[in-house]
Amino acid sequence: MSSSQSPGPSHPPAHPETGLAVEEVDALPEMPTDTSGMTPEQKDAHWFKYFYKGDQMPQLTLRAVMMGGLLGMAMSAANLYTTLKIGWSFGVAITACVMSFAIWNAFRALSGGALSKMSILENNCMQSTASAAGYSTGSTIATMFGALLLMQANPEGGTSADVKTLAVQPWVGVTIFTFCTGMMGVFLAIPMKRQMINHEQLPFPSGIAAAETLKSLYSESREAVLKAYSLIIALFVSAFIGILNTGEGTLKIIDKLFGEHGALKFMHLPEQVPADGFATITPAGGKLHGFWEKVPGAKQLIQFGFEPSVLLIAAGMIVGLRVSLTMLAGSILLYFFVAPPLIAADAAHLLPDGKYAAGFVPSIELVAGGTTFHIYRWALWGGTSLMVMSSLTALAFQWKTMGKAITGALSGRKEEVGETAAMKAIEVPFWWMLAGMIPLTIAMVLLQVISFQIAWWAGIIAVAMSFVLSLVACRATGETDTTPIGAMGKVMQITFAILHPGNATINLASAGIAANSASSSADLLTDLKSGYLLGANPRRQFIAQFFGVFFGTVAIIPLWYLMVPSKAVLESYPAPGTNQWFRVAQVLTQGLDSLAYSAKVSIALGGILGIILPCIEKFFIPAKLRPFWPSTMGLGLSWVVGFNNSLAFAIGAVITYVWTLIHRKSADTFNIPIASGLVAGESLMKALIAVLATLSGIFAWGL
């Protein structure tokens, strides 16, 4: 791992470990806290001398990869469910670290100490495998492929239940797409790691948090152990609640225990509280409800109530007060002040048979046989417009970041030339990226041509743009801990609306390539930041991520078909992210003529607000007051998800706020572990229930 140079006036003696001149290494302070004045070579030498531990303890071991792969497969199911439920996926690094630590210690206890302790770098390696499996392979499944499924027309005389996912999306194409875009993220991270982590030392806050979590766990302090087990306990509690709030008719075995006639029916939680009253609107309900008195039949609002889901409450605990209260305010505005007059205006065009007059396009759709108002099918136009424009505006503010990303990538190769022998032996060489990206590019272009009928030249452009957008996404993640995946996808959608106008399939496929590769790169760089801080061997960590993509692909593909066997099942989920992709593709490729006039107005207003609000926040709101300024993304999201989601988010955020006021230390210590466990537990259980329900229907298991 070392190299020597002949002593002489122009070639001073080299340090046996770093390859730098001895006096250059000796001139480094013992443990400098500020490395900003060092050259890239000095930074590498400093890290190698003081932090590198990759040869001192196990790292890339079979047990670490297997544990990470299995946890990542479970987390991929959880993230698939949360994406379908609330449109978000959660990073799995910290959750996987804590779960691995607790599970392995439990195995050691059961073995009577026969199993050795997993080293901190093994746990970090496991984290990398789990992240690649649980996060980097599933970003486009529920969004891109979900949107493609929504585009499928129902068969003549049939319903959306007759549109089978496997029939319209062959598993071979979905598998190749998912695996290749995930692997693109892994290989694209190679040059960015050295530039952004080693030399610029961008913070990647979640990576720092994961490293600190591992250090805390391995210090074996009482607090660290309590944090680990609080997450595990929260996971099991929320998994049980996920069983209790499962709707009747989903699984017979749950109905027998907790259903209306079950032995433990007193424990059953309704899907929405209350079932009648708050969620049902009657003509005699007062002035507000009087807007709808012309509409015949029962007047029920989709997702208008409180849903007893700890997953949603926990998401609010993680997101915080600003975003969550903005979401609640936006939902109140929508459900109480915007939707009622629109419904009243629609009612004027209703015929006695409960149908609308010919040629009339209602603002608020009536579904379920004309008994239920689907408010956010209208609202998502304004909400999506606001979020798209705010994302692009925020991206425009980062023009320096974009420039640094591109110039950094170009200079990264130059800096590799001057690399020391020691660093060359442990860093991932640049030629690995070329060796990986060439066959991946060929595979992605062929897949686009064959499966999506994209011209070969457009396919090459899609892959090339994915590289540029991944650079931007990774730098944004490194600087702000926020990955602008939505903006990356929308840039691709707009680009291909110009290159391939009138084709929504091509529009969605191109966006999927950018989104999945960018999210994969950003997430994996976050893990590499953890490894850098812990002194891990980056080459071994890269291999762990490589294996993780295999585990994730093996899990996420069958999970997709089992959890979403048909278009009807997908439509039963809120799926706000999926609907955003679908609607944007629809507008970009088909125009606005099919929309109600009010929807067109909401698109325009949402777009204007999406530009104005971020500009006001950036240029006119002092930094100390920004936590009190409404969240633009939260406002947009409130018109894309149901009222019950926004209410639950707000409840979770208020719980954390009050907890912090009462006892800040315990809140700072346990809020994130408990919230992470609550998210993981219910989402895992709901994913399992969805899979069992599908399998029970296929094989007539009678569950």
Structural domain contains residue 472 = yes
Q: How many CB atoms lie within 10 A of CB 359?
A: 6
Structural domain contains residue 15 = no
Structural domain contains residue 21 = no
pLDDT digits (tens, 9 = 90+) for 79-135: 888 888 877 676 677 777 788 888 888 888 888 878 888 888 888 888 888 888 887
Give the DSSP H/E element, type plus range, for residue 664: helix 664-699
**Which domain covers residue 315, as residue numbers?**
58-703
Residue 476's pLDDT is 67
The residue whose two tokens read 């707009």 is 494
Sign of CA dihedral 287, 289, 294, 298: negative
- Torsion angle of C-alpha atoms 173, 93, 634, 328, degrees rounded to 10: 110
Q: With cut-offs at 50, 70 and 90, classify the pLDDT of residue 21.
A: very low
Q: What is the mean pLDDT of residues 23-31?
A: 41
User: Is residue 397 within 8 Å of residue 614, measured between CB atoms?
Assistant: yes
Q: With cut-offs at 50, 70 and 90, classify the pLDDT of residue 486.
A: low
Tally of helices (H runs) and strands (E runs) in the chain: 28, 4
Q: Given a cut of 70, is residue 224 above it in pLDDT?
A: yes
Q: Regarding beta strands 365-367 and 372-374, do their DSSP bridges make them parallel or antiparallel, or are they unpaired?
A: antiparallel
How is residue 141 annotated by DSSP? Answer: I
pLDDT digits (tens, 9 = 90+) for 243-255: 888 877 777 787 7
Structural domain contains residue 658 = yes
pLDDT digits (tens, 9 = 90+) for 524-541: 888 888 888 888 888 898
Structural domain contains residue 119 = yes
- Torsion angle of C-alpha atoms 640, 646, 648, 654, degrees rounded to 10: 150
Q: What are phi and psi of 299, to 5 degrees?
A: -115, 100
Q: Residue 18: name the closest of 28, 8, 31 by CA.
A: 28
- DSSP labels for 565-579? -BHHHHHHS--HHHH
Q: Residue 584: name the closest of 640, 632, 630 by CA.
A: 640
The residue whose two tokens read 């278009």 is 567
Q: How far is CA 9 from CA 6, 17, 334, 556, in A?
A: 10, 21, 76, 60
User: What gap in Å lies between CA 447 and CA 174, rounded to an integer?
Assistant: 10
Q: Residue 190: name the closest of 390, 23, 435 by CA.
A: 435
Q: Given a cut of 60, is residue 483 above it in pLDDT?
A: yes
Q: How far is CA 120 from CA 2, 231, 362, in A?
A: 25, 19, 59
Report the domain count for the chain: 1
User: Is residue 538 within 8 Å of residue 163, measured between CB atoms?
Assistant: no
Q: Given a cut of 60, is residue 454 above it in pLDDT?
A: yes
pLDDT digits (tens, 9 = 90+) for 373-429: 778 778 878 887 887 787 677 767 765 655 554 555 545 444 444 456 677 778 888
Q: Which two tokens stand for residue 614?
A: 């971020």
Structural domain contains residue 212 = yes
Give the chain's length. 703
Give the DSSP H/E element, type plus range, for residue 367: strand 365-367
Q: Residue 380: name the closest of 581, 215, 121 by CA.
A: 581
Structural domain contains residue 418 = yes
Structural domain contains residue 36 = no
Cis ω on the peptide bond leading into residue 274 (within 30° of 0)? yes
Q: What is the pTM of this model?
A: 0.74
